[in-house]
Amino acid sequence: MGWFAMTVSVFGELLITVGLVLGLFVVYSLWWTNVVADREAHKQGDKVRDHWAQSPGGPGALDTKDGIGFLHVPAMNNGEVLVEKGTATKVLNDGVAGYYTEPVKASLPMTGKNGNFTLAAHRDGHGAKFHNIDKIDKGDAIVFETRDKWYVYKVFGILPETSKYDVKVLQTVPKESGRTKPGHYITLTTCTPVYTSRYRYVVWGELERVEKVDSARTLPKELR
């Protein structure tokens, strides 16, 4: 075998090795991190529900390190999503949605005051809880579950792409949403396009009604 042929052979083997390594990395990033995150989220979610069961009658606004409630979005077909405080990577990597504490602080619906309940979650890897955010349409339901209340929102605005530095979409009256007056809003944000973090995808909803949770925790009609 000549020098050139040998070089080509070695180079080809190196490319195959690199390809295998990259393939394993993709599997880890898009599958195994989901497995680990879902396991952790399920464990934390169980802690929240156990806490609710052991402390009946208390306010649903209680904020713990394990989570404050569960997000249900039928259009995303991803089951319930635990909601925790903060949007740092270490929070979202546990397969949950986090509410913003900065640069614009979220208004929690349990306060009963006008505001914007702003949330973020991963779109790919680490649970990918907002992977199907592009399946949401205007008029779809977003439901937030606490210990004692169901908060039912209706989607009214969608922004398929904006800068990741566009904090105006998180304001009390979110810019570009079409709303100009204070209200009870919810905002879902995640990365876009899929498998990148270059831009942000935004969905806005407005509170339609609040239902009291009964002893059987009967689901709102939107979730049945």
Q: Which domains does the chain have, with CATH numbers?
A: 36-223 (2.40.260.10)
Q: What percent of the chain has pLDDT over 70?
A: 82
Tally of CB atoms within 10 A around 91: 16
What pLDDT was estimated at residue 28?
A: 45
pTM: 0.86
Q: Tell me: pLDDT of 3 over 70.
A: no
- Catalytic residue annotation: 122, 191
Section 116-145 average pLDDT: 97
Residue at token pair 């949403």: 177
Instruction: Give the integer Cα–Cα distance in Å for 35 and 13.
Output: 32
- Label residue 31 by pLDDT band (50, 70, 90): low
Instruction: Give the integer Cα–Cα distance in Å for 111 and 68.
Output: 13
Question: Which pLDDT tens digit goes with each residue over 177-192?
Answer: 999 999 999 999 999 9
Question: Which pLDDT tens digit goes with each residue over 141-186?
Answer: 999 999 999 999 999 999 999 999 999 999 999 999 999 999 999 9
